[in-house]
Structure 1
Amino acid sequence: MYNISQTWMQSKKGDLFLIVGFLVFRLFLDISYEKFLYVIYYFDTPINFLYDVDLTRYLCSLLMFVLFTTVLSSRPRDVSNVFLVMATFFLIGPLTSEFGLNAARPIEPVIYTMSALLLVDLVSRMPIPDFISRIPVPKGPLLAVAISAVAVLYLFAWAYFSGALAYFNLDVRKIYTFRDNVAALLDVGALSYLNLWVYKVFTIFLICVCLLNRKFVWLGLLLIAQFFFFGLTSHRIVLFLPFLAIAVWFYLERFEHLTPMPYAAAVGILVALLLFEVRDIESVAEIAIRRAFFVPSGMTFQWFDFFTFHPHVYWADKVLASFSSGEYVGVNIPRLLGGYFVPGADSASNMGLVPAGYAQAGIWGVLLYSVILGLVLSVLNTIVRSGAPLWFVSAMTIGPLRTALADSDLFTTLLSHGLGMAVILLWLYRTRFVAPGVSKQIVPAGNREQE
């Protein structure tokens, strides 16, 4: 009884420090908004970072943010909690910060987003049948590894035979110069899906397998392969995903608390600000502050504003295009809004779960997307409960989940960006951790001494 009480007290203490850490993180976001975004991007399009503070509004934004953080757990128990922490970093923090510091921003997108994420978390707690234990896939782990390895080798071969290799580029200043040329040669028909899966799912899966089995020579070869794919596609996310997966492995494999994460993020923001203030280095702050945090929040407000005064899409752009009529049939919605926000520019305004759902069907679209994503997380939680390490499942899916959160429509994320394929691979490989017919409950790292 004493050990249970002591563990409970330690958990609550960790939760409190996590909340305080996120408050510190939020305050550093606010400082970066005033000292960097307002200074450099006040007149920038499509997002103008106006700085107009009302004390009551600002305190309200802080209260909403702190209340949201109370649902987080400092212990990384399941994929749902990891996802909610990630959402707090990349969406709730910047959204509430921008709402508190910019009087032109309405409160509705903040309320919709917070409510949607809480619904995702609620649905993800629903248990689902563990079909893989009852109907195991013969040699599932070997099949998952073989599919991934063949897919990686395919992309090397296709890069050569398609002629896309002629546009290979490692200069980050020219990433937009050759991207369209490469896509025209590489992404032919259904191959466009397969290519995305290779460097967003299959290589990341093989990296996780290497980390699990401590095969560091193979890990090095896979990192070289991913570096090649970055030079081939000129997409920065291709370069970042392996290191993000490795960071998840390093942290969750070794630490039983998420408490240090918001403090570390606050320090990162401070370093970026100091480089800008002291050394006049703008590029680091542009990526670490504007692009990582405030572009998704700013575009959330923009999308809500557009579809508050324009008709909703109702999936006429892709899924129901054959059964629809009107202005959105077959239209690329991100490019439509990109042209609307910056007339004449050939750009896309990408957006994630909540604004994309709102664009499709208003509040009903947000509810639908939240329930679907919650069910996906429930599947991932089931895989973890059955024996798969939390770090393995989180590292495999953190890229697609980040995309679903801030960069793409949910259906597009499930298909094109590989979230669905990641779930399938994890489902196949899960039998690597537990014998068929056996359901194993993972014991949190901090409680292993009680086993």
Structure 2
Amino acid sequence: MLLTFDSKSINVKKYPLGKITLILISLMAILVTIINFYLTTGGNVVLNFEDVYIHRSSFGASSFSGIFGYLNSWTFKIFSVIFLLWSLEKRNKMLIIISFIFIILLFMFSGHKSTLEALILILFFYFLYIFKNTSSIIIVSFFLLISICIFMGAVFNNNIFESLIIRRLLIVPAHLNFTYLDFFSNNDYIYWSNSILKSFFTYPYDLEMTHVIGEYLGYPKMGANTGFLASGYAQCGVIGVFSYTMFGIIIMNIINLLAKSYLKYFYMSMLFIPLLTLYTSSDFFTTLFTHGLLVAILILFFYDAKKYILKFGKFRLEI
């Protein structure tokens, strides 16, 4: 945090028709992802938060195979977000409704609750920058969210809201960080043998890293994800933590250089979920490539606030 500077944004030469290209790519990615989920799940959907893990265990392997292992995640966290942000920017009610339908369908077919985070975060950041004192609004909103979760739990006698927000957001990541530290202090480091250096090092465990920790906690079927700091320790001890911290500093400063103040709500909405994933539930390189952080940064280069007019005969569309 201390080495991340609030630098003045730089003027990057925009790619011609960058916004149009990104909107079309986002729309195509959303449609292809939904069609793939429909075909691989046979039309089965999940409507209850308590059933999402059963749904994912039944259809996750087929739905996320091949290129869809990347595309699905990019669509959840980047492309669906861009399409909704653009719809809000246009203030087009029909487009906003369609965007909401897309995100709800992605949740219903995939069972990934993170797809619904986009709805809350986008609306939060969209209205946040109406106010001048954003820091105070963020703090008040945080405590209000915690209070609402506790109230809902008491009223409905169900801890699902407290579990999703309080436990999953605040307690679980911290607990898993120390669990990784405890385990890999006494066992072999991975040395990126499960990813970029697998050609040079032999992976030392029979299970994936997340399931190794799940088994260590007494739940062999649980994938215990953690953020980039604990993951860095699992890879190469203190050297891994230091390396990932340096990479994180570079990424944060690149974002600060590219982000434009007049599109602050847009960039905050688009970057928040990949960055949250980086800090709470994924390795650095996995977040960069699989969870869309690199895609989000590339979008900073291409997206612009210009208005474009597309004409198809008498049909006229403003983008």
Write the letter of the residue equivalent to 1:420. Answer: L
Are the counterparts in 1 of residues 30 and 75 from structure 2 also a CA contact under 8 Å?
Answer: yes
Match of 1:180 in 2: 57
Cα deviations across residues 174-227 of structure 1 (Å, max 9, x unaligned)? 212221232232222122111211122101011111222222320111111110
Asked whether the equivalents of residues 128 and 137 of structure 2 are also in contact (C-alpha less than 8 Å), the reply is no
1:310 aligns with 2:191: no
Contact 1:338 / 1:348 at 8 angstroms: preserved in 2? yes
Q: Aligned partner of 1:223: which letter?
A: F
Shift, 1:151, TM fit: 0.9
What is the identity, as a one-letter code, of the residue corresponding to 2:272? I
Aligned residue number for residue 284 of structure 2: 410
- Distance (Å, rounded) in 2 between the aligned partners of 1:384 and 1:348: 34
Distance in 2, matches of 1:277 and 1:188, equals 41
Secondary structure (helix, strand or coil) at the match of 1:254 reads coil
| Gap regions ≥5 residues in structure 1 | 1-117, 434-451
**Partner of residue 167, structure 1:** 44
Q: Rg larger in 1 or in 2?
A: 1
Distance in 2 separating the partners of 1:291 and 1:246: 21
Change (3 A) 1:378 1:213: farther
Aligned to 2:249: 374
Gap runs ≥5 in structure 2: 308-319
What is the match of residue 338 of structure 1?
214
> Is the helix fraction higher in 1 or 2?
1
For residue 216 of structure 1, what is the aligned residue in structure 2?
Answer: 93
Matching residue's letter, 1:352: G
Match of 2:131 in 1: 254
Partner-residue secondary structure (3-state), 1:175: helix
In 2: Cα distance, 1:220 partner to 1:339 partner: 43
Give the equivalent residue in structure 1 for 2:298.
Answer: 424
In 2, distance between residues paired with 1:277 and 1:169?
A: 25
Aligned partner of 2:136: which letter?
T
Choose the corresponding residue for 1:147, options 25, 28, 31.
25
Q: Is the 8 A contact 2:194 2:203 kept in 1?
A: no
Give the letter aligned to residue 231 of structure 1.
M
2:215–2:222 CA contact under 8 A, matched in 1: yes
- Whole-angstrom distance in 2 between the partners of 1:151 and 1:273: 37
Q: How does 1:319-334 map to 2 (within 5 A)?
A: 319-328=196-205, 332-334=208-210
Superposition CA RMSD, Å = 2.4
Q: Distance in 2 between the 1:237 and 1:309 partners? A: 33
Q: Pick closer, same or farther for the CA change 1:325–1:156 going to 2, 3 Å.
A: closer
Contact 1:403-1:413 within 8 A present in 2 as well: yes
After superposition, the Cα gap between the structure-2 partners of 1:140 and 1:346, relative to the gap in structure 1 and judged at 3 Å, is same
Contact 2:41 2:63 in 1 (8 A): yes
Matched residue count: 307
* Aligned amino acid, residue 376 of structure 1: I
Q: 1:156 aligns with which of 34, 42, 55?
A: 34
CA separation of 1:389 and 1:233: change in aligned 2, threshold 3 A: same
Give CA-to-partner distance per residue, 1:347-380, whole Å, 9 cap, x none. Answer: 1110002111111112221122122222222222
CA contact (8 A) 1:179 1:234 kept: yes
| Identity level (%) | 24
Over residues 289-325 of structure 1, what are the superposed CA-to-partner deviations in whole Å (9 max), with x where a residue is unaligned?
Answer: 2122111111111111111222221111111111112
Paired position in structure 1 for 2:267: 393
2:235 is equivalent to residue 363 of structure 1: no
Deviation at 1:407, TM superposition (A): 0.8
